Amino acid sequence: MIGARDENWAGSVADVGEPRTVVASAGRFAGRIWSVRTDTVDFDGQLIDRDILLHLGAVAIIAIDDLDRVLLIRQYRHPVAMALFEPPAGLLDVRGEPPEATAARELAEEAGYQANNWQVLVDFLNSPGGSSEAIRVYLARGLTQLAGGRPTTGEAEEAYLPRVWVPLAAAKDLVLSGAIASPSAVCGILAACAAKESGWTNLRPATAPWPLRDQLLAQGRVHLP
């Protein structure tokens, strides 16, 4: 019974690795970006089946110019059949490429910009109830536009990515009003607003460890390219 034991937490408030015993596992689907498997998990003697979407992982970039405007791109997302305003982003699909290098490459490929100043803005799990997708959002400042503009590297959804510069305060209002709902935009914009209030002094360097992703890799919960 729920009321028969104390459910008040007295420990540290920080996410930690706490894997349960998997007594069986069955693959269901294997694709380029993700795979799906069913784990039979031992929860204190009770065996429960849980479906898991194993994801590559991704990075996103909140690029802010000297006028405190954030760069967003408009991209079609077929699963929701919507055109969403998002920060430049990309999958960690190049084996061995550091995530900060992926971020720099994606900022160039999706927006046609490079940055001199990179920091980690926020890390988050996109949908931990069913997916292992971990996303690191970087803050990019000191921006310059590439001489040749955005390279032609994408296809289909990425062939046309119109961009817009939105004042950071206005971008926050768009998030809070529900006008923008992409998770990388919501997390990144709100984190940028909080970081700005602190004078950008509480951010990690671009090369900071990413223990969340390290745990997922160690546990075989990343769909590797």
Q: List the domain range (segments joined by +) for residue 148.
A: 58-213
**In whole angstroms, what separates CA 3 from the centre of its chain?**
37
**Which amino acid does the sequence have at 221?**
R
CATH code for the domain in which residue 155 is found: 3.90.79.10
With a CB cutoff of 8 Å and minimum separation 6, the contacts of 185 are 72, 84, 85, 86, 87, 171, 175
**In whole angstroms, what separates CA 33 from the centre of its chain?**
14
pTM for the model: 0.94
For 33-49, b/e burial (b = at least 16 CB within 10 A) is ebbbbebebeeeeeeee
Is residue 161 within 8 Å of residue 75, measured between CB atoms?
yes
Which helix or strand (DSSP H or E) is residue 119 part of?
strand 113-125
Three-state DSSP class for residue 80:
helix
Return the sign of the alpha-carbon dihedral for residues 133, 134, 139, 143.
negative
| Domain annotation covers residue 75 | yes
How many whole angstroms separate alpha carbon 33 and alpha carbon 27? 15
| Domain annotation covers residue 148 | yes
pLDDT the model gives residue 150: 81
| Domain annotation covers residue 120 | yes
| Domain annotation covers residue 89 | yes
List, by residue number, the catalytic residues.
158
Ordered alpha helix ranges (H), the chain: 99-111, 168-177, 183-197, 211-218
Q: Could you give the number of structural domains in the chain?
A: 1
| Domain annotation covers residue 79 | yes
Is residue 151 within 8 Å of residue 107, measured between CB atoms?
no
**In whole angstroms, what separates CA 164 from the centre of its chain?**
20
Return the sign of the alpha-carbon dihedral for residues 195, 67, 83, 28.
negative
pLDDT per 10-residue tile (average), the chain, 225 residues = 74 93 96 95 95 97 98 95 97 96 96 97 97 98 91 74 96 98 98 96 97 95 92
